[in-house]
A and B are shown apart, each in its own frame.
Chain A
Amino acid sequence: MTRRPTDEQFDAFVTDAWRPLYRTAYLLLGEHTAAEDLTQAALTKTYAAWPRIRETAAAHGYARTTLLNEARTLFRKASWRRELASGDLPEPPPADGVDPSDRPTVLAALRELPAGQRAVIALRFYEDLNVEQTAALLDCSAGTVKSQTSAGPTKLRRLLGDAILPEGALHD
């Protein structure tokens, strides 16, 4: 891939890459507009870098890496670090008398978490990054990632209920 792609080739690449990148962005940021902006930024940089990418398959990897690096810039803002440091959950729904069908989906519950905790869950359980990789992206310590990896799912279970996320499912 020594040359910049034709418009048609790049359109095809964007169409192919857009949805998986958008899903990751949405899980990280919990908001559609921000997810769209992040995904666009990643693909824009991928276009600019295209002549330096060896294969089309690598372009997908490049775009994903770029998206995570762009997200890291967001995470390094002070507001994100503050949320990583605290991260209390809003009041959980009442435990009794709730129709299971009214319980939130995992994505809805994820949005209820503090931003830093949500990012930890997205990176660990969706992107399958290890503790060190996640800590590097979030600009925090491995210990913080470990504690959020433990606390985040626990809080999700409180929101979702045992039927969806049984307690035993939260332990390795």
Chain B
Amino acid sequence: MTDRLSTLLHDEAHDLAIPDAPTGAILTAGRRRVRRRRTAVVSIAAAAVITGGALVHVAGARARTPVVLDPATAPAATDWAVAQGSVVHLGTGATVKVPGQVKSMYYTSAGTLLRFGASPYTDGPHTSGSSYWLARPDGTLTDLRFSLNDRVPGSDPSLPYLAYADKGADDEHWMLVIRDVRDGSTVREIPFRGTSTWNGWAAPPVSLSGDHAYIGVDGTLLDVRWRTGRVEETTVPEHMPETRGGREIVSNDAQGRIQVVDLASGAVLKTITYDPSVGVERYPQLSTDGTHLALLPYAMCTDDGSCSYEGRSARIIDLATGASRTTSLEYGAFGWTATGRLLVVDGASVKSCDPDTMACTSTPVTLDGTGPIRVSGNNNES
């Protein structure tokens, strides 16, 4: 039966007038997507002037209600979370369950913020349906009752806040919003300007680090002192900020260079070079506290979506001393605690390891093998 219709469809589709492939546009857009994941810096010569660039805008930060903002506090040493599907194991020994698949997790001083939805992927279907719940260390859950749609928020393990951008009156006006994750209330709204055409999210991506929020708008990374409302441009070009401990990984594909930069001072803490004609062979990732740099193998994925590392050898570098050690990691089965210890999941336990000595403490967990595992300390935005 269907042979006739199928044949006709194939024959006519074969003769369809098809425009030439816009290879240049696809390549450009593809590179932009890569930069969403991997900080790409076009020019950061000497990296000496990261902050203190042109003053863009000074605005009094607006608090919706009079609030006393929390100072930064030290996160709990046992603070980690490992999720599989809807079940989340916390480092304190508590286990919680949410009504959805965990997509990503964010450290805050009040607990771990869980983003979940119909699928375990941030770019999967029903992205707009993501929910944000706070899992406190004792295992109690709070539904924050807001949805951020397809955008990248930022958190800091030492603060009880989540930062993200909201659209303003037009495509050039935005609002940095600071929410208290303990009750979902908005505690600061800071206006800023800048277009956001370089990425595909609903708003410019945001990271939160102490008193600073960093925002990737077209052409630059904005530095917002969110407690005062001061907004400055940096010399770091557009990218998805993933600031950890005030430090950022910036790379220059054209020159074959990756650098770890302290954003407040502009100091370059580590430089790694590679042949730009070959491309970077190790994927860099900072520990949650920004003290260590992991150089990870590239993951290889097959058509069915399963991924693994080709060679599981990863290098962990202590940025203070330059010392490094090699360890074996499996794709998707490691992360970082809120205090910067390496997390390793082996199926039946979660190990919290000193990244310098790899001395570990182990906590047994029950992972049932259903659904992808999410380990805290990773950035699962896409």
Contact = CB atoms under 8 A, between A and B. Distances in A.
Tell which of A47, A61, A126 has the most Cβ of chain B within 10 Å: A47
A101 interface: no
Contacts of B37: 48
A76 B16 CA distance: 27
Given A51-B298, A52-B299, A171-B1, A40 B33 contact: no
Nearest to A59: B303
Tell which of B19, B37, B278 has the most Cβ of chain A within 10 Å: B19
B279 interface: yes
Contact of B5 (A48, A65, A139, A153): A153
A172 B1 contact: yes
B14 to A, nearest CB: 7
Interface string A155-172: 010000000111011111
Interface string B266-284: 0000000000011101000
Interface in A39-83: 40, 43-49, 51-54, 58, 61-62, 65, 72-73, 76
Size category, A interface: 35 or more
Tell which of B25, B279, B310 has the most Cβ of chain A within 10 Å: B279
Contact of B27 (A7, A27, A54): A7
Contacts of A170: 1, 5
B30 A48 contact: yes
Contacts of A110: 9
B300 interface: yes
Contact of A47 (B2, B9, B18, B30): B30
Contacts of A156: 5
Nearest to B9: A126
A47 B26 contact: yes
B10 interface: yes
A23 interface: yes
Contacts of A23: 13-14, 16, 18
28 contacts: A2-B298, A2-B300, A14-B23, A14-B26, A14-B27, A15-B23, A18-B18, A19-B21, A23-B16, A26-B13, A36-B22, A40-B26, A44-B26, A44-B33, A46-B30, A47-B33, A52-B301, A53-B301, A61-B303, A65-B303, A76-B126, A105-B12, A106-B5, A107-B9, A107-B12, A125-B6, A164-B8, A169-B5
Ranked nearest first, the 8 interchain pairs of A and B with the lowest CB-CB distance are: A47-B30, A18-B21, A48-B33, A52-B301, A169-B4, A44-B29, A23-B13, A61-B303
Interface of A: 2-4, 6-7, 10-11, 14-15, 18-19, 22-23, 26-27, 32, 36, 40, 43-49, 51-54, 58, 61-62, 65, 72-73, 76, 105-107, 110, 121-122, 124-126, 128, 139, 153, 156, 164-166, 168-172
